[in-house]
Structure 1
Amino acid sequence: MNVVPRRFGLGLIVVPVLALMATACGGEGTATEGGDGAAEEAGALVIYSGRDQELIDPLIEQMREATGLEIDVRYGDTAQMANQIVTEGENTNADLFIAQDAGALGLLVQEGALADLPAEVTDLVPEQYRDAGDQWVGISGRSRVIVVDPADVDEVPDSVLDLTDPEWEGRVGIAPTNASFQAFVTGLRVIEGEDAARQWLDDMVANDVQTFENNRSMLDALESGDIDLSLNNHYYWYERVKEQGADAVTSEVHYLPAGDAGGLVNVAGAGITADAANPEGALTALEFLLGEEAQTYFTQETSEYPLVAGVPLGEGLEELDSLEQPNIDLSDLHSLDETVEMLREAGLE
């Protein structure tokens, strides 16, 4: 299988915008940078990961054992890693980029920074969870959901658009600097239009929406009664149930119906850089991430959705095909820079 590299020129606008987003697009924990350069000099596979080190390290160890690859991983948030790939250009150290969301991968596609992937790899994943031009592929899925305190919420709204109603004043939590929320707002812009998305943000602010640093602190506030409803990625709630036990978690998770933008199913994904020094190793690593071992890890350990057929779901998860997700091309989530600017204008960035 061949990976086809694409050369590119540096975009003038992407670097500052991605740098602006750097605090927003990483995982929930503090990322660190691994490796001192020696590994790549020895011909190791170099991975830039925008996913948490705590999450990915066990999987990378499994990858080493399964493939025999020598692997050097550099951790940072997703935007930071994408920014570095663009800045490094033809001299990038990255062979494989693992991103927390499709938007950052879409930005790299726009810059010509990713290679074409072979059909043998992309065909493993349904079309809606990969790049239309086959330059990145989803490796796990996550759905946006509403989480509520059932003691204080009699009727769960069917749409995020309803959360601007007066009855929700001061009762709703969001994490506006989190990458997943920003990807959702980008999806809202694509689905409902720029004006509608801007109005929704302004109306949420006017309705005293409560803001949090991340998904976990928002769920803490929900459990303690500080808010009654939160907009999350599904797996944070399932993670809490596994950690604390179902009896200790009073909140409930709800998937939105009828293709509402609040039910966006995004992906964590990966792509091989256009100027990879080790594209063969990167392809081997990507094939591992789409193999049964890694797909099982994602759904069993982090309660994400496997994207390859035949992998059993983690406990309690709704079937992915049963979710009434919006009809959107995830490649269209690349315009995160406009989303960040819109959030800033609304006073949320």
Structure 2
Amino acid sequence: MTGENPISRGRRRFLVGTATLGAAGVAGCTDLFGGNGSEENNSSGNESEIGQIGSGREGRGDPGGTLMEEMPPLEGELTVYSGRGEFLVGDLVQYIEDLYDGFSLDVRYGNSTDLVNQIITEGSGTPADVFYSVNAGSLGALADEGRTQALPNDLLELVRGEFRAESWIGTSGRARTVPYNTEALSADDMSDSIDDYSGGFGGSLGWAPSYGSCQAFVTAMRLLRGEEATRQWLEGVVEAGISDYPDEFAVCQAIAAGEIDAGFTNHYYIQRVLDGSPDAPIETSFTKGDAGAIFNVAGATVTDAASNAELGANFIRHLLSAEAQDYFARTTFEYPLIPDVEPVGDLPTIDELNPPSELDLTQLSDLEPTINLMRDVGIDV
């Protein structure tokens, strides 16, 4: 259309383009609840006709929320240390950079925990202006070292209070779930208590105990229930013969294939299986108020060494735009964190989920005691 705003034209192209990203079929890797931040940058080598990254769903209209064109323009140079993998967010950050002629991004990808340590080691000379993390634990770890600075209140107010702190904000979320095979089990067979899946559950189970998201789930149980109760739960699933898989996408594939009846995974792996095979016999169930129901976030912060803190905050603001939030919903099947964009799939809203209210997400980075406990029980991690 003659005279149309070029950003508006680009926005529509971007929204359409996200629907095709999933054809790559990368296996084994998105984030996760993991405190170690390693999963987004690794591949399990697990090949399947079902792509690891979602290709989006048809029939979604334009998202609500604030468009990038309505946000403060980005101008200058910005260095981002990203614990989120390039294959997941590379197209998004490139799109943001391309919107503005006077804006230049230098994105350095890596493991979230490694990047935290790198920023700490580099001290005041770190080139990192923004740290984009796979999980809240790494954001909290950097904040605890005094290496972040406060974000503007109008930015923080874009998401719910539990998904932000003074110096960091969540940008997308993941719900912990118990997927199950609908040919082996019914919804009535699934419990809303994680305790019922240890020992006495009437079906076969699978998990990925070396995966950071699974280890963070066990960490949550340890923080909420104590080490002894967690040990008993772990002993129960081990004695019942739980099957190990290299990653949580593989767990969901095994459920859909009928290898196992149920498992423990993040919610988006089920959606990715269904995106590739809409008739696959797999559905999602949720526990309530316990470690099986944790909801974690990827997020970002401006470092204390940022040369232009306002530019860093406005870049983060773009990650909470209508376009970016719809990108996360369509492309990675994560939960958008602004209320005007809905998740993809037959999922409860964030308001309908029941995560444990007393859990501090930043504590999920405390993995060492969890790994020691799992090994002590005889789990190969």
TM-score, normalised with respect to structure 2? 0.75
Compared CA separation, residues 167 and 317, structure 1 to 2 (3 A):
closer
Q: In the TM superposition, what is the alpha-carbon distance from 1:341 to its structure 2 partner? A: 3.3
Alignment of 1:252-271 (within 5 A): 252-257=283-288, 259-271=289-301
Equivalent AA in structure 1 for residue 256 of structure 2? E
Q: In the TM superposition, what is the alpha-carbon distance from 1:24 to its structure 2 partner? A: 6.0
Alignment of 1:174-253 (within 5 A): 174-244=207-277, 246-247=278-279, 249-253=280-284
> What SS does the corresponding residue of 1:70 show, helix, strand or coil?
strand
Equivalent AA in structure 1 for residue 241 of structure 2? D
Compared CA separation, residues 23 and 124, structure 1 to 2 (3 A):
closer
Q: In the TM superposition, what is the alpha-carbon distance from 1:172 to its structure 2 partner? A: 1.4
Alignment partner of 2:105 out of 64, 67, 71: 71
> Is 1:152 aligned with 2:165?
no
Q: In the TM superposition, what is the alpha-carbon distance from 1:336 to its structure 2 partner? A: 3.0
Query: Conserved in 2, the CA contact under 8 Å of 1:300 and 1:315?
Result: no
Q: In the TM superposition, what is the alpha-carbon distance from 1:208 to its structure 2 partner? A: 2.4
Distance 2:246 2:304 in 1: 34
Distance 1:22 1:179 in 2: 6
Q: In the TM superposition, what is the alpha-carbon distance from 1:96 to its structure 2 partner? A: 1.2
> Is 1:305 aligned with 2:339?
no
Query: Conserved in 1, the CA contact under 8 Å of 2:82 and 2:108?
Result: yes
CA deviations on 1:228-261 (whole Å, 9 max, x unpaired) are 11111111111221222x22x111111223x132
Distance 2:380 2:348 in 1: 32
Query: Conserved in 1, the CA contact under 8 Å of 2:35 and 2:216?
Result: no
> What SS does the corresponding residue of 2:174 show, helix, strand or coil?
strand
**Unmatched 5+ residue regions in structure 2?**
1-33, 45-75
Identity in percent: 35
The corresponding residue for 1:136 is 168
Alignment of 1:114-129 (within 5 A): 114-129=148-163
Query: Conserved in 2, the CA contact under 8 Å of 1:48 and 1:94?
Result: yes
Q: Is the deviation greater in 139-148 or in 216-225? A: 216-225
Compared CA separation, residues 49 and 340, structure 1 to 2 (3 A):
farther
Equivalent residues, number: 312
Q: Is the deviation greater in 63-72 or in 53-62? A: 63-72
Compared CA separation, residues 104 and 281, structure 1 to 2 (3 A):
same
CA deviations on 1:158-196 (whole Å, 9 max, x unpaired) are 222222214457x21112222222222222122222322
Q: In the TM superposition, what is the alpha-carbon distance from 1:73 to its structure 2 partner? A: 1.3
Compared CA separation, residues 345 and 270, structure 1 to 2 (3 A):
farther
The corresponding residue for 1:46 is 79
Q: In the TM superposition, what is the alpha-carbon distance from 1:265 to its structure 2 partner? A: 1.0
Equivalent AA in structure 2 for residue 146 of structure 1? V
The corresponding residue for 1:16 is none
Alignment of 1:75-94 (within 5 A): 75-94=109-128
**Unmatched 5+ residue regions in structure 1?**
1-20, 32-42
RMSD: 2.4
Q: In the TM superposition, what is the alpha-carbon distance from 1:312 to its structure 2 partner? A: 3.6
Query: Conserved in 2, the CA contact under 8 Å of 1:28 and 1:214?
Result: no
Compared CA separation, residues 30 and 88, structure 1 to 2 (3 A):
farther
Compared CA separation, residues 168 and 111, structure 1 to 2 (3 A):
farther
Alignment partner of 2:370 out of 327, 330, 339: 339
TM-score, normalised with respect to structure 1? 0.81
